[in-house]
Amino acid sequence: MDKKLIHRRSVIVESFETGSGLVIEGRLQDERFFPSYYYTRESFVDPGVIHGMRVRLQVSMPDMTIRTAEAEIGEVPLPECREIRESVGLLAGTPIRKGFSGKVRGMFGGKKGCLHIMNLILVMGSAAMQGFWAYYSRVRKDDRVRKPAFDESLLVDSCWLWRSDGPLWEKFRKAQNIPDALPRKHIITIDGPAGAGKSTIAREVARRLSYRYLDTGALYRALAYKALRKGISGEEGLASLCRETRIEVRLDQDKTSVFVDGEDVTGRIRTPEIGMAASEISALPVVREALLSVQRDIAKEGGIVAEGRDMGTVVFPEADFKFFLDASPEERGRRRFLELREKDPEIEAEGVLRDLEKRDIQDRKRKIAPLKPPKGAIIVDSTGLSVEDVVGNVIKAIDK
Ligand code: DC
């Protein structure tokens, strides 16, 4: 094949051991091999480097935490591109382990971010891990291999081989005495009143178990959103709304995205009005019936942490683990107020508490699928407990 080199992107990442940890140095360079017009500079320029940057991370071991992060951004199409350099310093304190890639994407992938530096740092993250393994698995002078205490979370969102769904996992697990992971198929339910912390706990439990997270309140909210938008109320109106509405979800470990007739409404349904409307329509049998099959269908593969009001009682009575999460009304009101204030600084605590109490009564007193602790559920009162404490209790109960 006749080919001519016109552009080269080089990404080189090197890991050095320093005695106290690792230094990871990365370079990214884009080079053109012919004179050309640069749209970003609005001029013709000679062949040469268009992007040239270096990043240096000092990483402590064995915790693999970035101690310092610095960037040199030499060649860039526009001087403004250099602004991103300061942000690189914000990586200090970040552990390079599970979730690292997501964090880097969040920091550098946004509107004011930089794809080049993001790509470079992502490569550096997994290269740092290779450096880590290279350090620990190296045969040293005394002919011995040093083994780190294996920590699964160090397998940065990277190589499937070693992950708990990969082919080497079982061997590794045995060698390292890691307790057997849960079979993937379990259904874990978390029920409880508004503001009890269900979402936070369910998300974290899902993350730790590599399960999917299902927020069933989001389904009721999504339907309420459409009902409010169309001005529909009453049983008949809602019955036809249910018939003609397509509700779909996409589940991740920390997020349930909901789509109403193909429209992503995830970001629009977390308002007090929609919460109240969801509570009202959720008392109607026709609504519950419509969403029952949606929920069961989503969970049929298992490997899910589902939170709501009737998970363990009605939707998944056969769930493998059931929890009922509660907290005092004051504590729940305070949490919900802090959550809503993030979006609306004007919101008043009293109104939030009033709404919560009203929803509590509606959710607990309704005839069909009322909120109550499911049979066999472990009841956790989270008043005064930290997220870590509650998650710890839940995981401990599952492990047992
Ligand atoms: O959890 P949430 O605040 O997003 O739920 C909104 C309303 O939806 C709640 O007040 C009652 C209803 N709901 C329900 O009836 N059953 C569920 N499994 C989840 C929510």
Nearest-CA residue for ligand 1 atom 11 is 279
Tell me, in angstroms, the distance from the centre of ligand 1 to residue 275's CA: 8
Pocket of ligand 1 from Cβ distances under 6 Å: 194, 216-217, 220-221, 275, 278-279, 282, 308-310, 359, 363
Judge whether residue 76 has pLDDT over 90.
no
Measured distance CA(198)–CA(310) in Å, rounded: 13
- Which pLDDT score, from 0 to 100, does residue 125 have? 93
Pairing of strands 48-60, 65-73: antiparallel
Tokens of 227: 């009902």
State how far Cα 366 lies from the chain centre: 33
71-80 long-range contacts, CB within 8 A, separation 24+ = 71/117, 73/117, 74/49, 75/29, 75/48, 75/49, 75/50, 75/51, 76/50, 76/51, 76/52, 77/38, 77/40, 77/41, 77/50, 77/51, 78/40, 78/41
Nearest-CA residue for ligand 1 atom 4 is 217
Measured distance CA(130)–CA(391) in Å, rounded: 31
* Confidence band, pLDDT 50/70/90 cuts, at residue 149: low
Residue spans of the domains in the chain: they are: 7-135, 187-399
Judge whether residue 205 has pLDDT over 70.
yes
**CB distance 310 to 369 below 8 Å:** yes
Judge whether residue 42 has pLDDT over 90.
no
Q: What is the DSSP string of 281-329?
A: HTTSHHHHHHHHHHHHHHTTT--EEEEESSIIIII-TT-SEEEEEE--H
Residue with tokens 């974290």: 204
Measured distance CA(5)–CA(34) in Å, rounded: 9
Tokens of 231: 């001005």
- pLDDT tens, position by position, 260-301: 999 999 999 999 899 999 999 999 999 999 999 999 999 988
- pLDDT tens, position by position, 291-311: 999 999 999 888 999 999 999
Comparing C-alpha atoms, which of 36, 32, 29, 35 is closest to residue 52? Answer: 29
- pLDDT tens, position by position, 209-247: 888 999 999 999 999 999 999 999 889 999 999 999 999
What are the distances in angstroms from CA 184 to CA 111, 130, 209, 253, 302? 37, 28, 9, 13, 7
- Which pLDDT score, from 0 to 100, does residue 255 have? 84
Tell me, in angstroms, the distance from the centre of ligand 1 to residue 161's CA: 39
Tell me, in angstroms, the distance from the centre of ligand 1 to residue 219's CA: 8
Judge whether residue 183 has pLDDT over 60.
no
Judge whether residue 152 has pLDDT over 70.
no
The residue ranges of DSSP E strands in the chain, in sequence order, are 7-17, 21-32, 36-38, 43-45, 48-60, 65-73, 187-191, 212-215, 247-251, 256-260, 263-264, 304-308, 321-326, 378-381
Measured distance CA(69)–CA(86) in Å, rounded: 10
Overall pTM > 0.85:
no
- Which pLDDT score, from 0 to 100, does residue 146 have? 65
- Which pLDDT score, from 0 to 100, does residue 58 have? 97
Tell me, in angstroms, the distance from the centre of ligand 1 to residue 363's CA: 8
Tell me, in angstroms, the distance from the centre of ligand 1 to residue 208's CA: 24
Comparing C-alpha atoms, which of 104, 98, 105 is closest to residue 164? Answer: 98
- The closest-lying atom of ligand 1 relative to the alpha carbon of residue 359 is 10
- Which pLDDT score, from 0 to 100, does residue 185 have? 79
What are the distances in angstroms from CA 258 to CA 169, 214, 220? 33, 10, 10
Percent share of the chain, pLDDT over 70: 93
What's the average model confidence in pLDDT over 105-121?
Answer: 89
- Which pLDDT score, from 0 to 100, does residue 232 have? 93
- Which pLDDT score, from 0 to 100, does residue 140 have? 73
Percent share of the chain, pLDDT over 90: 60
Nearest-CA residue for ligand 1 atom 15 is 282
- Which pLDDT score, from 0 to 100, does residue 33 have? 96
* Confidence band, pLDDT 50/70/90 cuts, at residue 158: low
Tokens of 363: 């959710």
Choice from 247, 279, 281, 337 to test ligand 1 binding pocket (greatest atom count within 8 A of CB): 279
Measured distance CA(371)–CA(330) in Å, rounded: 19
Lowest mean pLDDT among 117-126, 177-186, 340-349: 177-186
Judge whether residue 377 has pLDDT over 80.
yes
Domain range 187-399, its CATH number among 3.40.190.10, 3.30.450.80, 4.10.490.10, 3.40.50.300: 3.40.50.300
Nearest-CA residue for ligand 1 atom 1 is 217
Lowest mean pLDDT among 99-103, 313-317, 357-361, 375-379: 99-103
Tell me, in angstroms, the distance from the centre of ligand 1 to residue 217's CA: 4
Greatest alpha-carbon span in the chain: 80
Choice from 215, 220, 298 to test ligand 1 binding pocket (greatest atom count within 8 A of CB): 220
Comparing C-alpha atoms, which of 306, 332, 202, 184 is closest to residue 254? Answer: 202
Nearest-CA residue for ligand 1 atom 10 is 279
Tell me, in angstroms, the distance from the centre of ligand 1 to residue 214's CA: 12
* Confidence band, pLDDT 50/70/90 cuts, at residue 207: confident
Judge whether residue 23 has pLDDT over 60.
yes
- Which pLDDT score, from 0 to 100, does residue 209 have? 87
